Amino acid sequence: MPHTARRTARASHAAAAALASALMLLVGAADVAGAESASPEAQSFYEQARAALPDRDALQRLLDQAIAADPDFAEAYALKAENYAAAITATVARTDDLAAATALDVLAVSNAQKAIALDANLTGAYTALGLAHRQFWRWGEALDAYRHALELEPESPTTLFNWIWLNSFARRHDEAIAAARRGVALYPMSANAQRDLGLALAYAGSPEPSAAALEQCAELDARVTICHIYLALMQVRLGKPDLAAAELVKAEELAGRGATPATVSSLAHAYYRANRRDDAARLYARLEQQGQNSVVGAGSWPLGYLAIGDEERAFGTLEEAVAKIERHEPDEGFFNLMIIKANVGGNPVLDQPRFRALRDRIGAL
């Protein structure tokens, strides 16, 4: 199975985009935007740091200067933590360097804890802590952090998103669906709120109401790629493969040439489940090509192999991914492992006893 040290400019651009996206989401928290230091100098550096996004190096340098001017500037520590937590995602997307990802994890956790020690009411610090814990499979700690964030800002789209998704992944479906329904009530015209409800229902094994929410998501914003992918999987489960295939064509167009390996493998598997075997094979070939040029996570290969009907290699690579999880190592294919854990697409192969036993070990609390 191809893993290579060669890195392409495309992988670097994708990683930079992932970091920028994650940072912009994280620093949306109100407590960070309203930060204020007793030191005008520290405050100036902090504001410059926020303006530097998504330049991670400049942001960290300016935050270090803010903290040097005011060692008790809790919000600066929180923003540092958020930056480091987001950088874990970007690092895992472009390299299999566990030491680099682990170093970022240590920095994210330590800065979040410092911020919380100074001010226990910083939503952003808990959000950063939750993201770091989630990526390293410490889900009990991640849920605790996200719970604190939600208590501080119960109507924040960011805190709702984190709480809903991780509870769905952890098979805490009642918690996830209740929060998702609250999000839709708060933001009825938000595509992301409908996305979160659709995802929560999909993971709970409720394809019909999930499809309804995902269709609403697509009506509100047709550019949300993940809505089309999950809607396709729900249409498969509802016995509508042609409708599923139409959604996958939209998703593939939206993902474009810069689609990540995780997206490519999930599309390949979804095409397979929609009885579009030629498209599944085409996407699998693309995944193999990506494996020659960039990192394809252990969690992305099983769906790729399922897309070409290779049960044995799917099982073998899923074993490898589960071993990686149990060593608390982050993975580029995180979200594909969630699809497998819940068997979102209703693949009967994944319901075989040997596969089910592995699925139960993915992200166990």
Overall average pLDDT of the 344-358 stretch: 98
Whether residue 313 contacts residue 284, with contact meaning beta carbons closer than 8 Å, is answered with no
What is the per-residue pLDDT across 27-78, written as a single tens digit (0 to 9) for each?
A: 444 344 457 898 999 999 999 999 998 888 999 999 999 999 999 999 999 9
Closest-CA residue to 271 (of 304, 248, 240): 248
CB 26 within 8 A of CB 158: yes
Question: Residue 246: what pLDDT?
Answer: 98
- The answer to whether the Cα torsion of 247, 232, 224, 212 is positive or negative is positive
Helix 191-203, helix 207-220: angle, nearest 10: 160
pLDDT score, position 34: 58
Q: Which residues, at least 6 apart from 202, have a Cβ–Cβ distance to it below 8 Å? A: 210, 214, 230, 233, 234, 342, 344
Q: Distance between CA atoms of 119 and 21, rounded to whole angstroms? A: 26
In the chain, how many H helices and how many E strands?
Answer: 20, 0
Each residue's pLDDT tens digit, 293-323: 899 999 999 999 999 999 999 999 999 999 9
Write out pLDDT tens, residues 260-275.
Answer: 999 999 999 999 999 9
What proportion of the chain, given as a percentage, has pLDDT over 90? 87
Q: Is the dihedral of CA 274, 276, 281, 285 positive or negative?
A: negative
Cβ–Cβ < 8 Å for 146, 162:
yes
Listed in order, strand segments (DSSP E) in 65-215 are none
16 pLDDT above the threshold of 70: no
**CA dist., res. 192 & res. 277, Å (int):** 31
Please name which of 174, 102, 133, 178 lies closest in space to residue 365, comparing C-alpha atoms.
Answer: 133
What are 184-228's pLDDT values in tens digits?
Answer: 999 999 999 999 999 999 999 999 999 999 999 999 999 999 999
The full set of domains in the chain, from first to last, is: 12-153 (1.25.40.10), 160-258 (1.25.40.10), 260-365 (no CATH)
* Mean pLDDT, the chain, integer: 92
Cβ contact 77:125 at 8 Å? yes
* Selection from 241, 190, 183 nearest residue 216 by Cα: 190
